[in-house]
Every structure is written in C-alpha cells, then in structure tokens.
Chain A
Amino acid sequence: MTPAPDQPLPGLDPAARAWLDTALAEADRAAEAAEDTGTPGPAEAVGTAAPTGSGTASDNVAPAPWELRFAAAGRHAGRTHADAVRTLLLQRARAPLATLTRLYRHGTAAERRAVLLALPDRVAGPGALPLVEDALRTNDTSLVAAAVGPYAAAHLDPHAWRHAVLKCLFTGVPLDAVHDLERRAHKDTELARMLADFAAERTAAGRPVPADLTRALNLTGEES
C-alpha cells in the first residue's frame, strides 16, 4: 500500500498518528524558517564535524522541537515504525549535512541508523562519508546494514567498499543489505581475491563458507 502524501505511515495507531502529525508540522516549520533566514537551524554549527567528538558550548543550544521528536520516536511511534518516522522527519525538516552530522554524533544507535538511512535523499556529494565510515567501524549489525545502502554504493571508494562487503560477511549482515552489489562487484578482481582468500581461510579452519560469500564471488565474474 502506498501512503497518501498527507497520510504517511498508515500502520500507526491514533495516538502515534496525532503525535506524528504534530512532529511533522514542527519539521515543516523548521524547514520554512531555514528557507527564510538561509540558515540551517537554531543549533547549527557551520561546516562538517567529525562523526564523534567532545562537546562544545554549541552542543547544548536548545534543540529545535522536531529534533526532540526525532529522539523520542521509538517510544511514541513504536520501535517498528521508528526508522520510518525518523527518516521522514529528516526529510520534512530538510535537514542539511551539518544537522545530520550533529544528530548522528549526538544520537543513540537507533537515531544514527535513521540518519544513515536518510543520507541518499538528503546529501548529494560525499560530505557524509565520515558518518558511513564511523558506522562501518562499529560491530552493531543494524548500523553496518544501514551504512551499506545507496549512499555508500554511490560514494565509498573501492577499498572501503570492499571492506564493507567483507564486514557484512564477518558480522552476519545479509549481502542483500549491500545496495548495488551486482554493479559494484562486477569485474572487481580485488574483491574476488579478498573473497577467495576469506573462503580459503574458512575452509582451512574446517568452517563452512557462507552462501553469501559464494554469491558475491560469482557476482565478480572472476573464477576462484
């Protein structure tokens, strides 16, 4: 079912629906205010920060109301809807890179996942790569899976992308999560070598080779 533009997330119960309507109105107001003043938001620093870092005075400026909704989405909309609600809020607030970076840096794992999921629609260039790279350093499979979406497919350099594929295999993230796997794996001889080495290591240890590994190796079109 495709939700009507004014009725996103049809699965929400009435209380969550009312909460979301208010949240989206707040996000719309933030987007309009930013357009009027040409500034991204009340708590915004200029430029891109590192994905994590120590707090500064500007970290504690009162957050925009929609950002508090962004944090509270799990308890108001329910965990199953939280990703969809949060990414929708980021869209409607038209959150720019600096806001996305700050929300990631200050976010729980669930909030960070939502920022990663929103990147392909929100950020045109490679400016958000530090967030993807941060997520790929974690062993939280929900973050790793969210990090290998369309944004990573478009912007990760070959070395980082190959390691992301390997990381998925190591941590049990299904390769279906890797966006554009077919296109990027095709004729990637270095990826083929890494996968073949990994398969050999598993075999030497008497452990089975994951089916996803064999599949990725086939996609490279290289013989192992």
Chain B
Amino acid sequence: MRIFDPHIHMTSRTTDDYRAMYAAGVRALVEPSFWLGQPRTSPASFHDYFDALLGWEPFRAAQYGIAHHCTLALNPKEANDPRCVPVLDDLPRYLVKDSVVAVGEIGYDSMTPAEDHALAAQLQLAADHGLPALVHTPHRDKLAGLRRTIDVVRESALDPEHVLLDHLNETTVKEAAGSGGWLGFSIYPDTKMDEDRMVAVLKAHGTDKVLVNSAADWGRSDPLKTRKVGDAMLAAGFGEDDVDKVLWRNPVAFYGLSGRLQLDVPPPADLHEGNSILRGGE
C-alpha cells in the first residue's frame, strides 16, 4: 500500500514516527504550516518556521525515504494577532520555492474580520502563484464556517477546483462537494473523525476527490491513521485500486496542480551508525 499523507505536522513528530510511517507505506507527505501551540509574536518567528519546512524537515524526511513538501501561510488563529499579520507581506518570496505545493493552512478559526482579510488575501496569493490552497474548516461552528469559507472562495480569483477543504465530516461533506473543491478528512484518535466513519463516508459519497490525512501534530494524534483507513477500507470490501486512489492518486492529483511535486526520494540508506539523524556530536 503506497500512502501520501496530505496533511501532517512532522515538525512536532519524532524520527520513530518517520520510521513507522515508512514501514506502514508512507512515501510522501505534505506538511502545512500552522499554529505551533505557543503563539508567535513576530514575522521573524514565521521565517524560521518556514525555513525549517524548506530545509531541515525535508532533510529529515528524506533520510527515512519520504518525500516532503509543504504549504505555507499565515494560519487563521494567528491572523488575529496584529504582531503576526505583516508576515503576509513576506509570503510571496516563500511561495516561489520548489517544494511549496499550496498556500495553507488558511481558513477560519473564530470567524473574525481579521480572518476574513487573511483568507481573502491568501486565496489571491495562491491564484497569483499558480498554487492550489489548503483551506481548513473550523472546529467550532463547522457548518457555518464551511459556508462562509465557500462564499469567500467563490468571490476569490482562485478556481474552486483548486481548493482542498479540510477537516470535513458527515455534516459538511455534501456542501463541500457541491462547491467543486477537493475533500479532506482528518482522522483522529478521538471522536472528531475515525476510520470506520471514514469508510462510511466513502461508501455514501464515493472516492472522487477525497483525501484522507492524519493531521498528526503536537496534540493527541496518530501518524499511522492513513494506513488504518486503508486497512479499514479493504476490510469493508473496497478494492486495492480504491485505496490507492484515496491514499495516493487523489493527493498526487491535488497537489500536482502546483506543478511542483517531486516524489522520487530514494529509499532510506540503512540507518547504520554515523548516518542517522546525528546531533553533531552524539
């Protein structure tokens, strides 16, 4: 089973996770920039984070045989902090980088005017740079948030078919599909969305334009949820081709809209002594 996790925050994960993901079949992933748990206080803090997503993290991933791409943006939560908003002016010089395959995560958190502004500005940046957009739907007041998101996308210069609406569930999938966008589902170890409910959604909705991710980060999460969905699909009677479509071909098609996916990472060298992630003097 080849797996592309289209949304996972590896900055918060360990090399054990990389190893386990490779063993489970993960060969590619996209790491969206997001909130780190601790609020940032300046654009410079974003610069270092973006640089890590364009440097150190792809290096780590490659050592475990996994192709690493990223999406960059000012996230919705920090779009509300005036100290962080000027990073919007710096995004153009980051969005031209080779491994940036979308603008994201953008969207709504608390549905404030500041979030309206950041979302509209960054949809425009995506259109300007020939990039698709990864748009997160809010955890609170999700259906209303989705509707407002779809309205803003319609008013933007970005083709709705170049938008991935993420963190969907049973109550939002239909309207999201009606927008013409791609459909992302984050599978968590708690009640937000689990693999069996995901299989039920796939049975009801079909596999077209559906992407499944672990959204694993610094919170309670599981970087192997993509594999568990694949196994649950097979157990429920889906074929291997269906699994490959959801876990590989659909994310490749969506992020491939950027023209920047490079998936040919060599398999990991035997992680012998002296060739693991060293600390410059272990």
A208→B59 CA distance, assembly (Å)? 26
* Contact between A59 and B56, CB atoms less than 8 A apart: no
Which residue of B is nearest A144, CB measured? B280
Q: Which of A75-116 contact B (CB under 8 A)?
A: 75, 79, 82, 106, 108-110, 112
* Neighbour of B55 across the interface among A68, A140, A171, CB < 8 A: A140
The bracket for how many chain B residues form the interface is 20 to 34
For the complex, would chain B's binding face be called helix, strand, loop or mixed by DSSP majority?
Answer: loop
**Given A60-B90, A60-B92, A110 and B98 touching (CB < 8 A)?**
yes
* Contact between A139 and B47, CB atoms less than 8 A apart: no
A106→B281 CA distance, assembly (Å)? 28
What's the tally of chain A residues with a CB closer than 8 Å to chain B?
A: 32
* Contact between B93 and A59, CB atoms less than 8 A apart: yes
A72→B99 CA distance, assembly (Å)? 9
Q: Which residues on the A side are within 8 Å of B93 (C-beta)? A: 59-60, 63, 106
B190 interface residue per 8 A CB criterion: no
B274 interface residue per 8 A CB criterion: yes
B107 interface residue per 8 A CB criterion: no
A150 interface residue per 8 A CB criterion: no
B1 interface residue per 8 A CB criterion: no
B279 interface residue per 8 A CB criterion: yes
A203 interface residue per 8 A CB criterion: no
B92 to chain A minimum Cβ distance, whole angstroms, is 7
* Contact between A142 and B92, CB atoms less than 8 A apart: no
* Neighbour of A74 across the interface among B44, B262, B281, CB < 8 A: B262
A210 interface residue per 8 A CB criterion: yes
Q: Which residues on the A side are within 8 Å of B259 (C-beta)? A: 75
* Neighbour of B43 across the interface among A54, A109, A207, CB < 8 A: A54
* Neighbour of A109 across the interface among B59, B262, B275, CB < 8 A: B59
* Contact between A140 and B47, CB atoms less than 8 A apart: no
Q: Which residues on the B side are within 8 Å of A139 (C-beta)? A: 56, 277-280
Q: Which residues on the A side are within 8 Å of B144 (C-beta)? A: none
Per-residue contact bits, chain B 47-65, to A (CB 8 Å; 1 contact, 0 not): 1100100111011000000
* Neighbour of B42 across the interface among A54, A72, A106, A142, CB < 8 A: A54
Q: Which residues on the B side are within 8 Å of A170 (C-beta)? A: 274, 278, 280-282
Q: Which residues on the A side are within 8 Å of B279 (C-beta)? A: 139
- CB-based closest 3 A-B pairs: A54-B44, A74-B98, A109-B55
Between-chain CB contacts (< 8 Å), 16 pairs? A60-B90, A60-B93, A63-B93, A71-B98, A72-B96, A73-B98, A75-B98, A75-B260, A79-B262, A108-B97, A110-B98, A138-B56, A142-B59, A170-B282, A172-B275, A208-B273
Interface, chain B (partner A; CB < 8 A): 42-44, 47-48, 51, 54-56, 58-59, 89-90, 92-93, 96-99, 259-260, 262, 264, 273-275, 277-282
